[in-house]
């Protein structure tokens, strides 16, 4: 597991009406409940040990509640003979907080330099675990470069909080390359820092991010959790099994006004979406953000002052009444007026020319999108932009063409009318 961020705050929920305080309270407890779920998983599966690859705590504020929660969890694991190995990351470096509670001897916290410890099972050394904790929040490119296979243990693991490849919207810390990790001779790299679950190398060695244990905002939607890894006596590893452990699920969905003749039709559609999201969440609460798009006659109704707020209130009440709840955090407006796109495309005005260019790019496919990529190159060449946004892939470029077409229709068609 990685990036537990115990006691992380959730922004934008503290000002809810009193009757909806339960949403704020549930979110406030989410990181702690997810940690409890991880402990329960370890006990239920009777694992040999737990790895935590950084950012166990959310910040260097010495949150006593977070430390007590972690201590209570590892005590439960210790009673079952389960060891825990921790490497601290940029959110909880060694120099910025002190241990306020005593942890069991079954917990090993890696120091600021690369070190390794041997795990024995039934008296036999079966694994060697290498790790290092951030000595301070910011570390250079040289941090964590000294990992090398040593000893005769059949399975050797590296635990590191770092950036491998594109940062995916995260700041770059301790940048490593796959080639460097492969050169270490280790069998498995347990990485932290990037909150999106991803496998960078499926074997020789396995390299991957399990993602964070609990989503913290709408951009961290979908299941969050940890990997369960099985290794046989010869050091052969089975494919890691993902276990969803998030206490609250963030989700993002789209809905369309297309075909809805009345606001009641649209509300029925959104209520069905809320039910669907709730049923898919595996018995946990959900915080849902909806992008409302499409074209139709309801667009003019929804752009009236107060209309979207009233719509959100109605949908929110229905979701909040479920058990577990689905809290509709926001409805993002992206609706557009009805338009006869094909007729507009045949026109001899500026709008028609724009629509024909867009359609031409669609028909050309990715091979003909070089002019589009050239237009975006200047934007994505800015370092601050790259830290926030990844360059769009082919699917995202296709969506961009749809958005540009809609924008042309909205702005130019209305002007022409």
Q: Tens digit of pLDDT for each residue in 165-183?
A: 765 555 777 788 999 999 9
pLDDT score of 416: 46
- Crossing angle, helix 263-280 and helix 307-320, to 10 degrees? 40
Domain edge (last residue) among 221, 244, 267:
244
**6 located within any domain:** no
Under DSSP, is residue 285 helix (H, G, I), strand (E, B) or coil? coil
Domain boundary among 317, 338, 359: 338
| 360 and 331 fall within a common domain | no
Whether residue 11 lies inside any domain: the answer is no
Same domain, 66 and 156: yes
Task: Answer yes or no: are the C-beta atoms of 181 and 207 closer than 8 Å.
Answer: yes
Question: What is the percent of the chain where pLDDT is above 70?
Answer: 95
Query: Same structural domain for residues 52 and 186?
Result: yes
Highest mean pLDDT range out of 72-76, 90-94, 175-179, 376-380?
A: 72-76
Structure tokens at 96: 């910025």
Let me know if residue 4 belongs to a domain: no
CATH of the domain at 207: 3.60.21.10
Q: Are residues 329 and 262 in the same domain?
A: yes
Q: Which domain holds residue 401?
A: 344-417
* Statement to judge: residues 311 and 409 lie in one domain: no
Question: Do 267 and 380 have their domain in common?
Answer: no
Residues 124 and 38 placed together within one structural domain of the fold:
yes
In a domain, 198, yes or no: yes
d(CA 12, CA 330): 11
303 and 362 housed in the same domain: no
Task: Look at 38 and 341; give whichever has higher pLDDT.
Answer: 38
Task: Compute the C-alpha angle 381/387/390, nearest 5°.
Answer: 70
For residues 161 and 220, membership in a common domain is answered with yes
Give the length of the chain.
417
Instruction: Look at residues 280, 274, 284, 279 and name the one whose alpha carbon lies nearest to residue 329.
Output: 274
Other beta carbons within 10 Å of 83? 21
- Among 338, 358, 361, 339, smallest CA distance to 350 is for 358
Per the domain annotation, does 294 fall within a domain?
yes
Q: What is the pLDDT of residue 414?
A: 57
Q: Which of 244, 264, 286 finishes a domain? A: 244
Give this prediction's pTM: 0.81
For the chain, give the mean pLDDT. 90
Could you tell me if 50 and 192 lie in one domain?
yes
Please check whether residues 230 and 266 belong to one and the same domain: no
Q: How many independent structural domains does the chain possess?
A: 3
157: tokens are 């693991």
In a domain, 212, yes or no: yes
- Asked if residue 322 belongs to a domain, the reply is yes
Same domain flag for 290 and 401: no
In-domain check, residue 52: yes
CA distance 344 to 355: 8
């Amino acid at each position: 597991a990685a990036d537990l961020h115990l006691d992380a705050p959730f922004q934008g929920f503290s000002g809810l009406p009193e009757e909806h305080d339960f949403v704020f309270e549930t979110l406030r407890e989410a990181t702690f409940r997810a940690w409890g779920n991880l402990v329960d998983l370890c006990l239920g599966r009777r694992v040999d040990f737990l790895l935590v690859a950084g950012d166990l705590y959310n910040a260097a504020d010495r949150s006593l509640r977070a430390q007590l929660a972690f201590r209570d969890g590892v005590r439960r694991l210790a009673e079952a003979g389960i060891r825990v190995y921790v490497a601290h990351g940029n959110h909880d470096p060694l120099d910025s907080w002190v241990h306020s509670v005593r942890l069991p001897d079954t917990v090993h916290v890696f120091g600021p330099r690369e070190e390794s410890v041997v795990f024995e099972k039934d008296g036999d050394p079966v694994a060697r675990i290498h790790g290092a904790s951030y000595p301070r929040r910011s570390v250079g490119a040289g941090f964590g470069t000294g990992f090398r296979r040593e000893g005769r243990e059949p399975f050797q693991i590296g635990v590191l909080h770092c950036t491998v490849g594109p940062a995916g919207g995260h700041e770059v810390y301790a940048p490593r390359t796959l080639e460097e990790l492969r050169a270490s001779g280790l069998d498995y790299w347990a990485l932290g820092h990037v909150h999106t679950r991803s496998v960078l190398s499926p074997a020789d060695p396995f390299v991957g991010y399990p993602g964070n244990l609990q989503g913290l905002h709408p951009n961290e939607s979908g299941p969050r959790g940890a990997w369960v890894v099985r290794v046989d006596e010869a050091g052969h590893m089975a494919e890691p099994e993902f276990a969803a452990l998030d206490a609250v699920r963030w989700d993002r969905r789209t809905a369309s006004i297309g075909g809805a003749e009345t606001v009641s039709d649209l509300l029925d559609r959104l209520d069905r979406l809320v039910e669907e999201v709730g049923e898919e969440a595996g018995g946990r609460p959900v915080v849902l953000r909806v992008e409302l798009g499409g074209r139709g006659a309801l667009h003019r109704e929804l752009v009236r002052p107060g209309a979207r707020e009233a719509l959100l209130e109605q949908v929110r009440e229905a979701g909040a009444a479920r058990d577990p709840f689905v809290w509709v955090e926001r409805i993002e407006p992206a609706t557009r007026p009805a338009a006869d796109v094909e007729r507009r495309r045949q026109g001899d005005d500026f709008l028609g020319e724009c629509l024909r260019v867009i359609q031409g790019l669609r028909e050309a496919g990715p091979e003909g999108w070089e002019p589009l990529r050239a237009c975006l190159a200047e934007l994505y060449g800015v370092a601050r932009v790259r830290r926030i946004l990844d360059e769009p892939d082919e699917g995202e470029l296709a969506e961009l063409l749809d958005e540009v077409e809609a924008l042309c229709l909205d702005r130019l068609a209305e002007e022409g009318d």
